[in-house]
Amino acid sequence: MSFCCAAERQFGRESAERDLRRYRRRGADAVTKLMLAQLRRWPLKNKQLLNIGGGIGVINAELAADGIAGTTLVEASSAYLDVARRELQSRYGARSTEFLLADFARISDTVADADVITLDRVVCCYPDAEGLLRGAAARTRQLLAFSYPQDRWYMRMITAIQNFFRWMKGNAFRTFVHSPQQMSAVLERAELVRAGTQGTLVWAVDLYRREGDIPQTLDEGDAGHRGKSPHDQAG
Ligand SMILES: C[S@@+](CC[C@H](N)C(=O)[O-])C[C@H]1O[C@@H](n2cnc3c(N)ncnc32)[C@H](O)[C@@H]1O
């Protein structure tokens, strides 16, 4: 069974509508809020956002008000993509939006580059996390943020139990606890450097930036506006 068929079954219409109701009631989940906070340390105005495995589009929705110039969402489940399309079009108005139904790892060469790329709780749904991240890293001009399950014994145990029950029910979808070291090595080989990391007991959120020519964080920018330090002025 292809990855997209398994994703269609796992992430169907009912769960997409349920996720939307939860988002409207409670806002973004805790791990997504951590990722948004990390992203908002950087200038986002007029940037292109690519959200891979974006689900119902919570990150796109949240960042619409931060001046994002346009956004693309790639999703393996048509049910989630339909909800995202419905919800995001009004938030983005005349700004460009693109919705692609695909396994991103298979189409990464054909997707346009973006300034900011996000994969929130996506690598844990995909067997080849390294291939997925390699494709994403190749597309980012500036920032790449992703979240993944902590590589701890209890997460490996929970994942094994969940996968066992899926197997019992004939559900081909699986979740994975991938090696943080191997994922990080892929991004570093693509000349990205880690600029932030945070976590909960369950999730880790890492933010990488492209080495070299990219804007400073807003904190650094503010420091610049407040004036140079005496040390700088002496220089
Ligand atoms: C756990 S959900 C998270 C959705 C959303 N990012 C969020 O945090 O609310 C994972 C989503 O990633 C999608 N996904 C996983 N691997 C993908 C891939 N290779 N290409 C496109 N979508 C993918 C799944 O279809 C699913 O909707």
Burial category of 227 from C-beta neighbours within 10 Å (exposed 0-12, middle 13-18, buried 19 and up)? exposed
What is the pTM for the complete model shown? 0.91
CA-nearest residue for atom 20, ligand 1, is 103
- What is the pLDDT tens value at each position of the chain, 235 positions in all? 688 788 888 899 999 999 999 999 999 999 999 999 999 999 999 999 999 999 999 999 999 999 999 999 999 999 999 999 999 999 999 999 999 999 999 999 999 999 999 999 999 999 999 999 999 999 999 999 999 999 999 999 999 999 999 999 999 999 999 999 999 999 999 999 999 999 999 999 999 999 875 667 777 765 544 433 333 333 2
Residue 40 identity: R
Rounded CA-CA distance 141/49 in Å is 10
The superfamily (CATH) of domain 3-230 is Vaccinia Virus protein VP39 (3.40.50.150)
Q: Is the CB of 209 within 6 Å of ligand 1?
A: no
The domain locations on the chain are: 3-230
CB hemisphere CA count around 198 (13 angstroms):
13
CA-nearest residue for atom 11, ligand 1, is 53
DSSP state of 40: T
Task: Quote the distance between the C-alpha of residue 212 and its chain's center.
Answer: 22
Continuous H helices in the chain: 3-10, 13-26, 30-39, 58-63, 78-92, 104-107, 129-139, 153-168, 180-189, 218-225, 230-234
Rounded CA-CA distance 47/211 in Å is 17
Q: Is the CB of 120 within 6 Å of ligand 1?
A: yes
Q: How far is the CA of 204 from the centre of ligand 1 (A)?
A: 16
